[in-house]
Structure 1
Amino acid sequence: MNTLARLTPAAHAAPSLDTLRDFVEHEADLLDSRRFDDWLDLYSDDAVYWVPAAQDQADWISHVSLYYDEKHTMKTRVARLKHPMIHCQDPPSTTVRVLSNFGLEAADGDRFRVRSKFIMLEDRPGADRRVYGGRYLHTLRLDGAHLKIVQKCVRLTNCDQSFPQLTQPF
């Protein structure tokens, strides 16, 4: 079975862990390929993209976050990343994400919480290499026959440190 077929589970069937893993890996590939519009299409209209700024941060309401984006804000970030005059991405970053240790945290009807670990390298000519690592927690929902991201939480191992400009989604 080809990868794209595995990203769309059969109607009325719960997706396997392999299908969920392939979907999350596909998201990472889109980001590494700078296909930001396609990446954005993976998110539901009610999606939240969240990167806590503290190790034990329980929510995005009681503490400032590195990222807290709803779909509208994500669209704005993507528009900025694609703008030809974005100075902090001139030249553009090259990224690679390596994901592992996938597991199904919970399944409830049409929702699935998938955990994984990641390392992301970001290189830009004339700038220092940046290395990020941590844990992903994706909440995915079946939308008809397709999976959509309802929430992505990125728990960086060094989230409480100082960062230069963060421009690339994790």
Structure 2
Amino acid sequence: MVDVELQPRPTAVELMTMSYEIEQFLFREADLLDSWRLPEWLELFAPTGEYLIPATDRPDGDPANDLFLVQDDRFLLEQRINSLMRRSAHAEYPHSRTRRFVSNVKVTPILEGRLLLRANFAVFRMRAGNVDTYVGHYDHVVERDDDHGFRFVVRRSTLDLDALRPHGKVSIIL
């Protein structure tokens, strides 16, 4: 969970417009990921952006104190993407087919022009005749960006799974 301090509530029209823009941003992000356009996806991150996936046994974990499945700053995320795009990434070459669903998007303004996004997700990964399903929720912090509309400051994907069985790993971007 991301700790935030709330700003004054926007008007209903502002909130509806903002919610629509955020949903379009998340749908565009899902399309980039499902199309394996990972270098373009990386451009959706702020220079100080973080990509986090807490361990399944500590979904409310703090990255400063707890073990995370993924805890990447922008540099490590770039390395992860470079690796995933190479033929030597055996877990994802050829690339898995994925389809993701994003729903129940909620937007809350927070300090410094940033927004907290909460949404549910289901990501289906098809590879070698198997279908793996990852279900959970997002807690993202975004800021406005002239090029992409928004960019991630924190992108946190929390799995609702008890364990990573049967797949045993997360080799795709959730």
Shorter-chain TM-score: what band? 0.7 to 0.9
Contact preservation (8 Å) 1:57, 1:63: no
The corresponding residue for 1:19 is 21
Report the alpha carbon displacement of residue 86 of structure 1 after superposing the two structures with TM. 1.9
Report the count of equivalent residues. Answer: 157
Q: Which residue of 2 aligns with 1:9?
A: none
- Secondary structure class of the residue paired with 1:67: strand
Contact preservation (8 Å) 1:81, 1:89: yes
TM-aligned CA distance change 1:40 to 1:58, over 3 Å? same
Q: Residue 30 of structure 2: SS of its match in structure 1?
A: helix
Question: What's the counterpart of residue 173 of structure 2?
Answer: 169
1:36 pairs with 38, 41, 45, which one? 38
Unaligned runs of 5+ in 1: 1-12
TM-score by length of 2: 0.82
Structure 2 residue runs without a partner (length 5+): 1-13
Deviation at 1:55, TM superposition (A): 4.0
1:132 has 2:134 as partner: yes
2:118 is the alignment partner of 1:118: no
Q: What RMSD, in angstroms, separates the aligned Cα atoms of the two structures?
A: 2.0
Task: Quote the offset at 1:127 in angstroms.
Answer: 4.7
Distance 1:139 1:83, change over 3 A: same
Where does 1:2-151 land on structure 2 (aligned, <5 Å)? 16-53=18-55, 54-124=57-127, 126-144=128-146, 146-151=149-154
The offset of 1:45, in angstroms, is 0.5
Among the aligned pairs, what percent are the same residue? Answer: 24
